[in-house]
Structure 1
Amino acid sequence: MKNNLIILIITVLIGTSGFSQAFVSNTNLSLSDKKATTETVALYKKLNQLTAKGYLFGHQDDLAYGVKWKYEDGRSDIKDVTGDYPAVYGWDIAGLENDKENNIDGVPFIKMKQYIKDVNKRGGISTISWHFDNPATGKNAWDNTPNAAKTVLPGGENHKKFISWLDKASTFFLSLKDEKGKNIPILFRPYHELTGGWFWWGKGNCTPEEFKALWKFTIDYLQKKGVHNLIYVYNTSSFKSKEDFIANYPGDNYADIISFDSYQNNDDKEGKKFIEEVQNQLKVVNEIGIEKHKLIAVAEAGYEAIPDPKWWTGTLNKAIGDYKISYVLLWRNHGWQEKEQKMHYYAPYSGQVSEKDFVDFYNLDKTLFEKDIKKN
């Protein structure tokens, strides 16, 4: 009765004063994989505890390359600016399904494995996405020819091919071991931006039922292969309501973190639309997270080339506000794109116009980088 009363009070406060933004942790949090390794369970608990302190900062491909450099041991654009590494590192395993030596962004898988091991040794966290090819056409993930998802489900003409892809992913995940031979915990974010229509698994390219079946089959198969070092991240792009967000949700037993991606565009130079959109989405996701006992995150974010010198403290931090998110991850620092004839990066580098503001952002109590979460 006492617990029910507390929940009722919190519910009232959520509706009247924005108390949801101060809501910290959930004693009922538990991983969906009931056979998760001890290290994976410990990381999930740590992520939950850290939300009381602030949110983790992440960066895609941070150690592999940056603006005007590539594969320099120990280097990071974030470290060049702050003297510290990100807390979260993003990687992508697209290319693995076709036995490529390098991933979709040219990062050799052998280097990626070592980066993940180095990150783990320092106390950092790795998250992995998978822009895998359209299994029905053989084209890339952005080939949104409809009904590809249906073909990989049991009984579909590409089911065996898809299983072979999952076998390769299983081998990769199980190869990620620390110095003691223990599997390194990974935040796995498959079928990301699922509410958008640009990927073959996205909205309009398969039914909600097919997507749920695809998600469940993937997780069940990986666990069947002995993969128990993954924390599963459910991820959308834009959405307007709770119903939109959970339309394809596979169930509480198949997800551990719920998240969305959001980017600021050039038609929104002051960031007002971005702040409003992220705040609206966090309000919805936070409510779902409390209801379903899940951590929440902004799994991708950014403003290409960061032309606003005060973007970090003036826009991104305001967009997140006081919501207790687990992490925010900024996309990669590719640098000059010859084909598009423009710069493509989302985190500052030495000399970049927002560098000073990023240091101010780094120094905020609630932004957590690698030194803030380092193992004792």
Structure 2
Amino acid sequence: MKNLLLIIPAFLMLLSCKGTSQTTALAPMPADKKATKETVALYQNLFRLKEKGYMFGHQDALAYGVEWKYEEGRSDVKDVTGDYPAVYGWDFGRIENKESKDLDGVPFDKMREWMKQVYDRGGINTVSWHVNNPLSGKDAWDNPPGTVASVLPGGSQHEKYKGWLDNAAEYLLTLKGSDGKPIPILYRPYHEFTGDWFWWCKNTTTPQQFRELWVFTVKYFQGKGVHNLIYVYNTSNENVATEANFMEYYPGDEWVDMVSFDVYQGGEGEKREKFLKETKNIVAIMDKVAREHNKLCAIAETGYEAVPDAKWWTGTLAEAIGNHKISYVLVWRNHGWNDWFKPAKMHYYGPYKGQVSEKDFIEFYNRKNTLFQSDVTKEKLYR
């Protein structure tokens, strides 16, 4: 009996230690050690959720769609399925100058209200920032060498850039739900850096400079009291053929919460095959990296402009993702007729009523492993 009494506590202690180890492994923490309770809950719940499937997202989903704008409660995805997306994309471009509207014409006041609605119903907000070039004064696509160096500590534009970050932080601190809590956001800074079109892209920036810019930005926001951001490392499909390519500019596990990439289909035939081949390859690389580094992963932007393929959702997109456990896939915005392009054309990436891929999208929606607003609302991701 005496031996048994000695064995039982030891056995219980072993179970306790084992349980603690498992809990720790299943509950990763965000990069921000002072992240809000709701931000931590979202981050940890997203690890759980990816075992059930991947969320569908749409850029500017509540702001406008094909042939409509600023209609309360509307979304092209909802028109087709009766349900909202699970992930809603927004952009902070022009917040640096405290303009009233973002680069796509969405009023920041309205954006704040829509982000609140998303949070209140249990959806997820994600933000990119097409920040202007602080060196030239032109837009994000103006990419002369030296811009990143100019905004780093000691650079000629460092103080100016800090002011731009101040403006973004000020806005971020106003984003609160009906419960008064800061709204957790998947933040995707310096996105698509493996391309050659933005001032922070790899053709004008060294890996060391990019890492310094990333870490400086994270620390700066934290220093301003912004603790509701989940930081998303985001390549494009350009110049990413291997794991080494994907990780070349990686700032480090302590500064990143999620890894992702952007990729678009440019046409049929060989262009479709190129999209499938590249997407499958990078998804596999990204999934491996996410598992090895205990991070989430996503396709942060994708789509096929005007979706001319009637079976694109189930026949191409779903095939490209395969069985990999990604967190979400987001398609770009439904602008509709756009005369900015020359010649003018229809510019949209999601389905809408009467669109050729509408029925296929409903089939995509009905799949068990595709998650929309009604699915994630049940999950109570912020608790």
**Letter of the 1:345 counterpart:** Y
Matching residue of 1:140:
139
Unaligned runs of 5+ in 1: 1-24
Matching residue of 1:252:
253
Matching residue of 1:352:
355
Within-5 A mapping of 1:218-237: 218-237=217-236
TM-score, normalised by the number of residues in structure 1:
0.92
Question: What secondary structure does 2:263 align onto?
Answer: strand
Matching residue of 2:289:
288
1:52-102 superposed Cα distances (whole Å, 9 cap, x missing partner)? 110000000000000000000000000000000000000001110011100
Within-5 A mapping of 1:1-376: 27=26, 29-238=28-237, 239-268=240-269, 271-340=272-341, 341-375=344-378
**Letter of the 1:339 counterpart:** W
Question: What secondary structure does 1:117 align onto?
Answer: helix
Question: What secondary structure does 2:138 align onto?
Answer: coil
TM superposition shift of 1:316: 0.3
Q: In structure 1, what is the Cα distance between the partners aligned to 2:271 and 2:49? A: 31
Question: What secondary structure does 2:26 align onto?
Answer: coil
Q: In structure 2, what is the Cα distance between the partners aligned to 1:300 and 1:187? A: 13
Contact 1:268 1:274 in 2 (8 A): no
TM superposition shift of 1:180: 2.1
Contact 2:27 2:44 in 1 (8 A): no
Contact 1:55 1:328 in 2 (8 A): yes
Q: In structure 1, what is the Cα distance between the partners aligned to 2:268 and 2:317? A: 16
Percent of residue pairs bearing the same amino acid type: 57
Question: What secondary structure does 1:136 align onto?
Answer: coil
Unaligned runs of 5+ in 2: 1-23
1:165-223 superposed Cα distances (whole Å, 9 cap, x missing partner)? 11111111111111221111000000000100100000111111111000000000000
Contact 1:26 1:290 in 2 (8 A): no
Question: What secondary structure does 2:179 align onto?
Answer: coil
TM-score, normalised by the number of residues in structure 2:
0.90
1:331-371 superposed Cα distances (whole Å, 9 cap, x missing partner)? 00001111321111000100000000000000000000000
TM superposition shift of 1:26: 5.8
TM superposition shift of 1:273: 2.1
Contact 1:59 1:332 in 2 (8 A): yes
Distance verdict in 2 for CA 1:130–1:54, change over 3 Å: same
Q: In structure 2, what is the Cα distance between the partners aligned to 1:26 and 1:328? A: 25
1:80-136 superposed Cα distances (whole Å, 9 cap, x missing partner)? 000000000000011100111000000000000000000111111000000000110
Question: What secondary structure does 1:373 align onto?
Answer: helix
Distance verdict in 2 for CA 1:353–1:270, change over 3 Å: farther
Distance verdict in 2 for CA 1:314–1:270, change over 3 Å: farther
Question: What secondary structure does 2:173 align onto?
Answer: helix
Q: In structure 2, what is the Cα distance between the partners aligned to 1:129 and 1:230? A: 12
TM superposition shift of 1:269: 6.7
Cα RMSD for the two superposed structures:
1.3
Which is greater in Rg?
2
Q: In structure 1, what is the Cα distance between the partners aligned to 2:74 and 2:284? A: 36
Q: In structure 2, what is the Cα distance between the partners aligned to 1:301 and 1:265? A: 11
Q: Which moved more, 1:339-348 or 1:247-256?
A: 339-348
Distance verdict in 2 for CA 1:270–1:353, change over 3 Å: farther
Question: What secondary structure does 2:106 align onto?
Answer: coil
**Letter of the 2:299 counterpart:** V
Give the number of aligned pairs: 352
